[in-house]
Structure 1
Amino acid sequence: MPSTLAQLVFDGIPDGPVGVALDIVGTASRLARAGLVDAPCTVPRHRIVSVDGAAIRTATKRTLEVDGALARARLGAGDVLVVPGLGMATPKQIAAALERRDVARAIELVARAAARGATIAASCSATFVLAAAGVLDGREATTTWWLAGTFAQRFPRVTLRPDRMVVDADGAITAGSAFAHADLMLAILARTTSPSLAHLVAKYLVLDERDSQARYTVMEHLRVSDPVVLALERFVASNVGRQVTLDEMARATATSPRTLARKVARALGTTPQGFAQRLRIARAVHLLETTQRSVEDVAARVGYADPAAFRRVFRRETGETPRARRARARRDSSHDR
């Protein structure tokens, strides 16, 4: 069992992730002490640390006292170091954050803790810190969906899985967006203490345990300004009722298939075929939410002759079935009225 679960915080960190982590670990400790878990388990000691041990200022300008310095924590085998999201929303902000003196020092300390055998974990944009430390090289990882293209370009030695909410790569755990730090902390509990305890904590705190952030990635192309990607979007949108080949997409964007694949991977972290599929699914989502057309009709209108195949792809891309998506849209609409 881990002896220490250290959460590293920086100036400007969002307040939410720190509070979420405290709530989850605190609830786990209370439930374990109350004997409400099937098997006995010990929750690790939870400490909040900064790079140098000094208090930090959160994104809302609150002073957060810490329990010590990461530089003196001496984390090793059996310990877990967690880095919450940095609160950075754009590639430019990420680049600037990685050049900060405290973050650069943290990157060195993260690499050192990993070398000593500690489990390293991060959520949202903090996954860039782990990748910069080399912790994720040769491993699978996820990150927040809107920064997937930037991550893939900056860290080509990492196998990025942007559709996954949590990726546990044996010593390095990463989580994407959409309340990612809660997902990360639950994954750490499941891995280091007991899956049943993690499930019980999620139940008590009314946290849904998600395994995919794919439903949030369907429209990620809206953040992209690359003219080749925009030309590809226009071509696919105008041919949304049929499957298009890579050669067709390359001709439509005045590129070679190889160049097109490279540009789409750099911008979006996927393939041209994967991007086209996401655009078709995005159109299907719109039809399901705004019309009464049958699932079969929607499938045909976005280029799927086989409704069963459409259902499989839709679920993989959005994390839910077409009927569930339509039902959820109706519930949300009724709540807004």
Structure 2
Amino acid sequence: MITHLVFDGVADGPMGVALDIVGTAARVVRAGLVTLPQGRLAPRQRVVSVDGEPVRTAAGRTLAVDGALGLRGLGPGDVLVLPGLGMATPPELAAALERPDIVRGVEWVARAAAKGVLVAASCSATFVLAAARVLDGRRATTTWWLGPVFTQRFPRVSLRSDRMVVESGGVFTAGSAFAHADLMLAILAHTLSPSVAHTVARYLVLDERESQARYMVLDHLGSSDPVIRQLESFVTSNLERQSTIHEMARATATSPRTLARRVAKGLGMTPQQFAQRLRVAQAVHLLETTQHPVDEVAARVGYADPAAFRRVFRRETGETPRARRTRSTLREAGAR
């Protein structure tokens, strides 16, 4: 059984997509389009709230539910999944985590995980899993613009905010709202079979994305910390060469250890990773606005080895430099 736990403010789109994905999986299995491993059945699903009452979605619509969340009959093999809370800013999220219904939800998630239920969440709902302590000592992801807040609030979790979906110790997390589709496909692959997930993705024309780094806007990763602003200014003024941690520390009037601590607290990454993000962002700009060869772009952002640049670019954006340029060209042609 796949149980979708929803709260007031739930994001409309991801909830609908999740229901479609599981429903399509059930139909393709029953139609004999995919053969499941022995002992596994077509998925069933339900939507619940903590009290069994309908919830109000982020778009202001009333979402009926199938009942109240209960753990009787749930155990290993069952899934409890939380779509995003519909919170766009850290203050909204902090207030939501104090709401009585979400506090109860945190308790239910902890109890479900203790019974061996597979728990999963996307976007801001990953904060509920973290609050339930089921992510302690594990890797996880969340929506990228809330990454620094997540890291500050839950230091026991190893955050990978560049990833679309992360599975760690049987707990699944996903990034921004529509990464909920990726989350549901990952759950189907894990609980049924990869062929089911691939078939559903093909029928619903869902692309398989590994990274949300390509969607990151560096302005959103900014910080009120003046040290981070000084670091950004230093790196962007010296993009043509790689800077050491000692050079970055001198430019920000800090020690390497203090700089690392400030950047980790403000951005959830190391100074070197931040510098790398800034270089990749400039590379994206050059690829989209000039016709410079990829090797020249690499040199302009501090990579003497074009192969190393390509590896870093692919890791950070989820695509090759050539693919990024092609996609940009096609987008501009379509706009004309």
**TM-score after normalising by structure 1:** 0.96
1:179 Cα shift? 1.5
| Aligned residue type for 2:14 | P
Aligned to 1:37: 34
Aligned to 1:16: 13
Aligned to 1:186: 185
Q: How far does the alpha carbon of each residue in 1:294-316 deviate from its partner, in whole angstroms, 9 at most, with x for none?
A: 01111111111111111111111
Q: Is the 8 A contact 2:29 2:36 kept in 1?
A: no
Q: Is the 8 A contact 2:122 2:180 kept in 1?
A: yes
Residue 243 and residue 221 in structure 1: after superposition, are their counterparts in 2 closer, same or farther (change >3 A)? farther
Q: How far does the alpha carbon of each residue in 1:137-190 deviate from its partner, in whole angstroms, 9 at most, with x for none?
A: 111111111111111111111111112111111321001126211011101110
| Aligned residue type for 1:294 | P
Distance 2:184 2:301 in 1: 38
Distance 2:145 2:189 in 1: 27
Q: How does 1:91-170 map to 2 (within 5 A)?
A: 91-170=90-169
| Aligned residue type for 1:335 | G
SS of the equivalent of 1:7 reads: strand
Q: How far does the alpha carbon of each residue in 1:85-130 deviate from its partner, in whole angstroms, 9 at most, with x for none?
A: 1111221111111111110110011001111110000001110000
Distance 2:177 2:104 in 1: 28
1:268 aligns with 2:273: no
Q: How does 1:66-105 map to 2 (within 5 A)?
A: 66-71=65-70, 75-105=74-104
| Aligned residue type for 1:262 | R
SS of the equivalent of 1:53 reads: coil
1:221 Cα shift? 5.0
Aligned to 1:61: 60
Aligned to 1:199: 198
**TM-score after normalising by structure 2:** 0.96
| Aligned residue type for 1:29 | A
SS of the equivalent of 2:214 reads: helix
Distance 2:4 2:36 in 1: 26
Structure 2 gap ranges (5+): none
Q: Is the 8 A contact 1:183 1:209 kept in 2?
A: yes
Distance 2:268 2:11 in 1: 26
Q: How does 1:296-311 map to 2 (within 5 A)?
A: 296-311=295-310
Q: How far does the alpha carbon of each residue in 1:200-250 deviate from its partner, in whole angstroms, 9 at most, with x for none?
A: 000000000111112123625554332211111111000011001111111
1:281 Cα shift? 0.7
SS of the equivalent of 2:197 reads: helix
Q: Is the 8 A contact 1:141 1:167 kept in 2?
A: yes
RMSD (Å) for aligned C-alpha atoms? 1.4
1:70 Cα shift? 1.1
Aligned to 1:312: 311
Residue 170 and residue 125 in structure 1: after superposition, are their counterparts in 2 closer, same or farther (change >3 A)? same
1:43 Cα shift? 2.6
1:266 Cα shift? 1.4
Distance 1:295 1:273 in 2: 22
Q: Is the 8 A contact 1:218 1:317 kept in 2?
A: no
Residue 100 and residue 178 in structure 1: after superposition, are their counterparts in 2 closer, same or farther (change >3 A)? closer
Residue 218 and residue 243 in structure 1: after superposition, are their counterparts in 2 closer, same or farther (change >3 A)? farther
Q: How far does the alpha carbon of each residue in 1:56-98 deviate from its partner, in whole angstroms, 9 at most, with x for none?
A: 1111221111111114655322211000011112211111111
Structure 1 gap ranges (5+): none
Distance 1:297 1:170 in 2: 43
Distance 1:268 1:156 in 2: 13
SS of the equivalent of 1:47 reads: strand
1:13 Cα shift? 1.1
Percent of residue pairs identical: 71
Residue 37 and residue 114 in structure 1: after superposition, are their counterparts in 2 closer, same or farther (change >3 A)? same
